[in-house]
Amino acid sequence: MSVRVGVFGATGYTGQELVRLLAAHPHVEVAFATGSAEGYLAHEKGLERAADAYLLALPHGISARYAAQLGEQRPQAVVIDLSGDLRLKEPGAYQRWYGQEHPAPQLLARAVYGLTEVYRPWLHGARLISNPGCYATSVLLPLVPLLAERLVDASDIVVDAKSGATGAGRTLREDLLFCEMAGDFSAYAPGRVHRHVGEMEAVLRERSGQEPALTFCPHLLPVKRGILSALYLRTPHAAAHLAGALRTYYAGSPFVRVVDGKPPRLSDVERTNDCLMSVHEAAPGRVVIFSTLDNLVKGAAGQAVQNLNLALGLPETAGLPLSAGAALTQGVS
Amino acid sequence: MSVRVGVFGATGYTGQELVRLLAAHPHVEVAFATGSAEGYLAHEKGLERAADAYLLALPHGISARYAAQLGEQRPQAVVIDLSGDLRLKEPGAYQRWYGQEHPAPQLLARAVYGLTEVYRPWLHGARLISNPGCYATSVLLPLVPLLAERLVDASDIVVDAKSGATGAGRTLREDLLFCEMAGDFSAYAPGRVHRHVGEMEAVLRERSGQEPALTFCPHLLPVKRGILSALYLRTPHAAAHLAGALRTYYAGSPFVRVVDGKPPRLSDVERTNDCLMSVHEAAPGRVVIFSTLDNLVKGAAGQAVQNLNLALGLPETAGLPLSAGAALTQGVS
Amino acid sequence: MSVRVGVFGATGYTGQELVRLLAAHPHVEVAFATGSAEGYLAHEKGLERAADAYLLALPHGISARYAAQLGEQRPQAVVIDLSGDLRLKEPGAYQRWYGQEHPAPQLLARAVYGLTEVYRPWLHGARLISNPGCYATSVLLPLVPLLAERLVDASDIVVDAKSGATGAGRTLREDLLFCEMAGDFSAYAPGRVHRHVGEMEAVLRERSGQEPALTFCPHLLPVKRGILSALYLRTPHAAAHLAGALRTYYAGSPFVRVVDGKPPRLSDVERTNDCLMSVHEAAPGRVVIFSTLDNLVKGAAGQAVQNLNLALGLPETAGLPLSAGAALTQGVS
Amino acid sequence: MSVRVGVFGATGYTGQELVRLLAAHPHVEVAFATGSAEGYLAHEKGLERAADAYLLALPHGISARYAAQLGEQRPQAVVIDLSGDLRLKEPGAYQRWYGQEHPAPQLLARAVYGLTEVYRPWLHGARLISNPGCYATSVLLPLVPLLAERLVDASDIVVDAKSGATGAGRTLREDLLFCEMAGDFSAYAPGRVHRHVGEMEAVLRERSGQEPALTFCPHLLPVKRGILSALYLRTPHAAAHLAGALRTYYAGSPFVRVVDGKPPRLSDVERTNDCLMSVHEAAPGRVVIFSTLDNLVKGAAGQAVQNLNLALGLPETAGLPLSAGAALTQGVS
């Protein structure tokens, strides 16, 4: 017996990945998948279609309106919003980071933040889930346990993050043309400008009870998919101690793993739902943590499916790609 | 109840793809997968291990020796050789194209050529299978039906083929370094020099009863995977007529499809076992056919699994990746 | 004493390359360079500015209008049109290939076709020059001498051409996004559809007195710059004989060279004004010729500067980049 | 009247860039350029050849031996060592960072460190110059003035650096293969492991009189050339104040420039001798500086030519590529 799932925004990179994952999911049937090319008329039609769960891969500002309408028309259905609309809980924060009034503020208190491994208890049976940002996922998974246990200094966090170009979506922008990107590399939104800063600091504040100060510089890599974030942290502890704390925290979470030796690379997590991290000594009193994931999978569509599984009472790993590493090491002697 | 499969040569690109596919195969258990990094000692050990089927992703010259030994020690097992060792049947041809004496000529008559859609009847229950070359698969799938039905001129076949770099294997050659390949493109082995010419002409001769004359120029693309071959053919027939003949021939073959409109591209078949082709009018009396496949899947590991399925009486498509196109169109309105 | 040169369309890839070359040209001063971002108002202003030569890197349909107006206002100036507007001489051909009425048919008879090595005598002192297409340059340089001397069969010419993405210009098209192109490869406009077919056949007809039949299939490479064309030709002659004929024809032309051994690759000509070619035996009665050039230099801006030099009586090689090969071999022991 | 220059190690990426620059240099004649493919026999022969200057693009450990021998045989000649052999002055430091005994310790005191803009007074007329590391150049150019003027905290410097693959040289390593690097990205040598840490800290100590503490994490970009370093610094000053201080320091240095607005990108400096930097506010008390250069030009061969010019009394910019930006803005309206 399959769960019927509808996808809004199925023609973007995230939407395509969603459809790809759901089509191979053993307990799911794709009820409909509506593209956005035709404007949003097609979506409006989708609103009338019955499904057990709706995944919204729509632009922010539009997505929450759909979530609100689905909440009224299909109160029993699971709704997962992959846009940024429901990530910030504080009144005023959306206006500050997104530069517009919130389209459905009444949903903010209800939406569960879908950083699966951190908010798992609240995700079981949830009906409205806000899927985290891709950068935020790569940064929060290592930071939340370390700040919550006060193992690193919350007041001095430096994150240098790099993302493949699908993170920017299928947008007709000159800087995203092949001839502009191939062979090039650049930083953008340096310091505290990127929208995910608000999202990250809010979660860190909520989980640790401390006021974090984050320097966050994203970069655009000439690759299609993958995020690698380097976190420079001040701590009195050894790298091995922090690695141990992370391993303990994620002991029951198959997709989040701490590796030893060489830092993990994009290809280690490509097309998987994994987030891999490693901890290294830096200057005295400093460590560096590398955290990597596939922005379209654990950073978007994969984590949405993981959350869908929890919301529906399915196994957490159902329909999620086997890690390449796991596949390879399974039988190789 | 799973079939136990052993893989020799599991650390090359083809071997990795084999392990990845077999690990996700619903009816298969990877009994062992032996790398080649340690030289061939590890392989020798593998020869003592029991399995129901053995896949050889070893260098030519070595592979047939393993096939011979397995044939003696495990006569009931299925052996699939992915090297070029068992592709040429004529005595002398191996010496001419591979420049060395054949390591196990006694196997040549027994080995079934594993171009699945063409030799399917012989593959059911086969015990020794020679998996075709990647270029050869992309060229023979469109050519065999057209030559067999005498729809195109066998004496004037021009093939301009382009392959991603995994086709050259994980070899430490200066021309395969990132800094040499990125942003570059080149032809190699022009005319009638490439080993697959002998393989292709032998199959065409055998299936059509005509003596083919092939011009074949391979090129190295700055991409990791994928082959796109352009076949320039002389014919009195319209492109649509040839497309129809190909569709009829492959009607029962889910992985080989003729598309209309735009020529198929590498991304259409990436990580799938598909071979897509299209037929277009060129100058009067000439058509051009584009044929594309993923060199590591339909061009190597995927076709090997397809052949394994037939040899073992499993469903032909078992364990083979769902086409991206099929996944996407399944539910999108 | 410098020649004052103005550039229209300086913000496209060709226009940028023009400005880069002209800025380093020892006998040239850039009088002005007008972008197109602002629409064509800025260009209109440029029409009032005095210069000794004007280079038009504008879209077709617009370019010839500028050429016409400059011809009236500055009859002494050299005008070089890099668009396709003045390449086809036959009435009706423009309408057929470009799908619109010609904006300035009175210029067609006057414009010299700037395939430098072939039309050099007419380019000395020319006042209106039509710069050839990039594909056309790569195909015509090997074909013109061989057809003119009747060394190959004009009625059966197959060209499989591959170009980097700057050939498509700085256009906001989804298929030119980094995420669409990276790792991909495809054919387009197969058979006889591309506009350069008309241009190539007209020149071949004019130079050889024969009616050519051309099959031409362009492909889009995931690289920024460079064209490699493979020409499959029918001939009773040996490859070496054709190579000799080409060497004789281009003896006094420093930028066009026939190489032996391995086929030339994109990187051999990158950022140079060279066109390199090689001739190889294929099937009996067939040879294949590889021809490579940088589409932005010899295929556009570099050939325009070469033509400018001839028109102004400057040394033909002035301001044109030294070949990387020439630089390297100059002093290496 | 040309200066005669000999190049050792002309077949590596740095050596090729050296030959390319020297071949176009108006005051230089390449006396000889010796490859390393033949082992070092060819080099030994080079030692007998007379030249006015010798550039050594040889592996460390070998390079200093050549420098020593040239110093004895050609005491009047300029010798520029591009390896790491002469960069560390402290006894024991070479052993610590390079893991071997120094091949010519007697040269260490004599060699001038060729970070041109910082050590310019000592480079005029110098006879033995140690060319800086590529990462070190990108980090030291922004850091030296800020530490020397005590504008930033020397005890807490975090550098996240990214380099193209030519930085690793033309080495046959599996991780440098196209199929391993394309689409991938990774960190290596995290913390304080990379050899350039020793070099950077020694220069900072010497120029600022403070003991610096550096966290340095290099990354390998899937591009051929270019370095972008992000420097996270603690300071009581505003970003604009630091930018002003850097502008003042580099007022007379045409190749080092501070830009406003968007951070500089690799393509801004590709194939130029420029180092561009920008300063941005981060968290309170923190700024981030981006510094970018072409690792083969300002990071190696270009800076060597710049140093050669100073040593020989030539104009500092002679033979060095005009910045693309400068070329473009020169005449564009």
Point out the residues of chain C with pLDDT beneath 50: 37-39, 327-333
Q: How close are the terminal C-alpha atoms of chain D, in Å?
A: 39
The tally of CA atoms less than 13 A away on the side-chain side of residue A177 is: 17
Q: CA B117 → CA B113, B129, B150, B231, B242, distances in Å?
A: 11, 14, 19, 19, 18
Range in A240-254, B90-104, C241-255 with the lowest mean pLDDT: B90-104
Measured CA to CA, the distance from residue A96 to residue B25 in angstroms comes to 50
- Closest residue in A to D225 (Cα–Cα): A183
Assess whether D286 and D140 both reside in one domain.
yes
What residue numbers bound the domain in which D177 lies?
A: 134-293
Helix, strand, coil % (nearest 5) of chain D? 35, 20, 40
Closest CA to D95 of D201, D103, D196: D103
Measured CA to CA, the distance from residue A108 to residue A94 in angstroms comes to 10
Chain-chain contact of C333 with D32 (C-beta, under 8 angstroms)? yes
Assess whether C70 and C169 both reside in one domain.
no
Measured CA to CA, the distance from residue C234 to residue D173 in angstroms comes to 43
Show Cβ contacts of residue B139 under 8 Å, excluding neighbours closer than 6 positions: B159, B161, B196, B200, B216, B229, B231, B291
Q: What is the pLDDT of residues C279-330, one digit of tens each?
A: 999 999 999 999 999 999 999 999 999 999 999 999 999 999 766 555 444 4
Measured CA to CA, the distance from residue A163 to residue C60 in angstroms comes to 38
Q: How far is A263 from chain D (nearest CA, A)?
A: 6
| DSSP line for C189-236 | STTTTSHHHHHHHHHHHHHHSS---EEEEEEE-SSSS-EEEEEEEE-S
In the chain, the amino acid numbered D311 is A
Assess whether D93 and D118 both reside in one domain.
yes
Show Cβ contacts of residue A38 under 8 Å, excluding neighbours closer than 6 positions: none
Check which CATH number belongs to the domain holding C314 and give it. Answer: 3.40.50.720
Measured CA to CA, the distance from residue B212 to residue A110 in angstroms comes to 71
Are C85 and C60 a contacting pair, CB within 8 Å? yes
The packing angle between helices A116-123 and A134-148, to 10°, is 90
Measured CA to CA, the distance from residue B140 to residue B156 in angstroms comes to 15
Check which CATH number belongs to the domain holding A231 and give it. Answer: 3.30.360.10
In the chain, the amino acid numbered B104 is A
Helix (H) or strand (E) holding A275: strand A275-281
Q: What is the pLDDT of residues D33-62, one digit of tens each?
A: 987 644 455 556 666 788 999 999 999 999
Q: What is the pLDDT of residues A31-77, one digit of tens each?
A: 999 876 444 555 566 667 889 999 999 999 999 999 999 999 999 99
pLDDT at C227: 98
How many other C-beta atoms are found inside a 10 Å radius of the C-beta of residue C100? 10
Residue environment code for C181-206, b if the CB has 16+ CB neighbours within 10 A, otherwise e: bbbbbbbbbbbbebbbbbbbbbbbee
How many other C-beta atoms are found inside a 10 Å radius of the C-beta of residue D332? 18
Assess whether C104 and C183 both reside in one domain.
no
Q: CA D301 → CA A275, D81, D167, D277, distances in Å?
A: 40, 11, 12, 20
Measured CA to CA, the distance from residue C258 to residue A272 in angstroms comes to 49
Helix, strand, coil % (nearest 5) of chain A? 35, 20, 40
Residue C333 falls within a domain, yes or no?
no
- Closest residue in B to C225 (Cα–Cα): B183
Considering the candidates B134, B179, B217, B275, report the single residue annotated as catalytic.
Answer: B134
Structure-block tokens of residue B200: 């292709």
pLDDT at D42: 52
Are B34 and B42 a contacting pair, CB within 8 Å? yes
Considering the candidates D134, D179, D217, D275, report the single residue annotated as catalytic.
Answer: D134
Residue D44 falls within a domain, yes or no?
yes
Assess whether B33 and B96 both reside in one domain.
yes
Measured CA to CA, the distance from residue B218 to residue C224 in angstroms comes to 21
Q: Which residues pair with D139 in a beta bridge?
A: none
Range in A19-23, A324-328, C178-182, C285-289 with the lowest mean pLDDT: A324-328
pLDDT at B192: 81
Chain-chain contact of C178 with A178 (C-beta, under 8 angstroms)? yes
Q: What is the mean pLDDT of residues D164-192?
A: 94
Q: How far is A172 from chain C (nearest CA, A)?
A: 6
C-alpha B184, offset from chain centre: 26
Are A246 and A277 a contacting pair, CB within 8 Å? yes
Q: What is the mean pLDDT of residues A321-331?
A: 52
Assess whether A12 and A141 both reside in one domain.
no
- Closest residue in B to A179 (Cα–Cα): B183
Decide if pLDDT at B324 tops 60: no
| DSSP line for C267-331 | HHHTTSS-EEEEEEE-STTEEEEEEEE-TTIIIIIHHHHHHHHHHHT--TTTTPPPPHHHHHHHH
Structure-block tokens of residue C1: 């004493």
Q: Which residues pair with B264 in a beta bridge?
A: none
Measured CA to CA, the distance from residue D221 to residue D162 in angstroms comes to 6
Which residues of B are less than 8 Å from C264 in CB distance?
186
Chain-chain contact of A331 with B24 (C-beta, under 8 angstroms)? no
Q: What is the pLDDT of residues A263-294, one digit of tens each?
A: 999 999 999 999 999 999 999 999 999 999 99
Structure-block tokens of residue B97: 């194209």
Strands D214-220 and D186-187: antiparallel
Are D86 and D130 a contacting pair, CB within 8 Å? yes
The complex's ipTM?
A: 0.94
pLDDT at D84: 95
Give the confidence band of B321 by pLDDT, cuts at 50, 70, 90.
confident
Residue A323 falls within a domain, yes or no?
no
Strands C78-81 and A214-220: unpaired
Residue B331 falls within a domain, yes or no?
no
Which residues of B are less than 8 Å from D174 in CB distance?
170, 172
Range in A120-129, A222-231, D34-43, D45-54 with the lowest mean pLDDT: D34-43
Structure-block tokens of residue D199: 């070099």
Show Cβ contacts of residue D156 under 8 Å, excluding neighbours closer than 6 positions: A283, A286, D213, D233, D234
Assess whether D112 and D221 both reside in one domain.
no
Q: What is the mean pLDDT of residues B161-165?
A: 98
Assess whether A217 and A256 both reside in one domain.
yes
Count H helices, E strands: chain D? 12, 13
Please, what is the Cα angle at D10 between D9 and D13, to 5 degrees? Answer: 95
Structurally, how many domains does chain D consist of? 2
Using CB atoms, pick whichever of D13, D179, D183 lies closest to residue B170: D179
Assess whether A162 and A28 both reside in one domain.
no
Q: What is the mean pLDDT of residues D145-157?
A: 97
Q: What is the mean pLDDT of residues B232-244?
A: 98
Which residues of D are less than 8 Å from B173 in CB distance?
172
Assess whether A13 and A127 both reside in one domain.
yes
Using CB atoms, pick whichever of D30, D31, D331 lies closest to residue C30: D331
- All chains having 3 or more CB pairs closer than 8 angstroms to chain A: B, C, D
Assess whether C194 and C288 both reside in one domain.
yes
Does any CB of chain C come closer than 8 Å to the CB of residue D187? no
pLDDT-above-70 percentage for chain B: 92
Decide if pLDDT at B114 tops 90: yes
Higher pLDDT, C317 or A321: C317
Are D235 and D287 a contacting pair, CB within 8 Å? yes
Structure-block tokens of residue B333: 């309105």
Residue C331 falls within a domain, yes or no?
no
pLDDT at A330: 40
pLDDT at D333: 37
Q: What is the mean pLDDT of residues D271-280?
A: 97
Decide if pLDDT at D5 tops 70: yes
Rg (CA), chain B: 19
Assess whether C112 and C146 both reside in one domain.
no
The sheet with strand D28-34 has its strands ordered as D28-34, D3-8, D53-56, D78-81, D128-130, D112-113
Residue D326 falls within a domain, yes or no?
no
Measured CA to CA, the distance from residue A39 to residue A288 in angstroms comes to 44
Alpha helices in B151-238 (DSSP H): 178-181, 195-208
Q: What is the mean pLDDT of residues B90-110?
A: 91
Are D64 and D107 a contacting pair, CB within 8 Å? yes
Find where tokens 């083979």 sit. Answer: B320
Measured CA to CA, the distance from residue A219 to residue D263 in angstroms comes to 10
Residue D332 falls within a domain, yes or no?
no
Strands A157-163 and A214-220: parallel
**DSSP class of A99:** S
Which residues of C are less than 8 Å from A174 in CB distance?
170, 172
Measured CA to CA, the distance from residue B333 to residue D134 in angstroms comes to 53
Measured CA to CA, the distance from residue D123 to residue D306 in angstroms comes to 10
Which residues of A are less than 8 Å from D267 in CB distance?
180, 183-184
Structure-block tokens of residue D142: 């922004």
Give the confidence band of A303 by pLDDT, cuts at 50, 70, 90.
very high
Does any CB of chain A come closer than 8 Å to the CB of residue B329? no
Alpha helices in A215-265 (DSSP H): 239-249
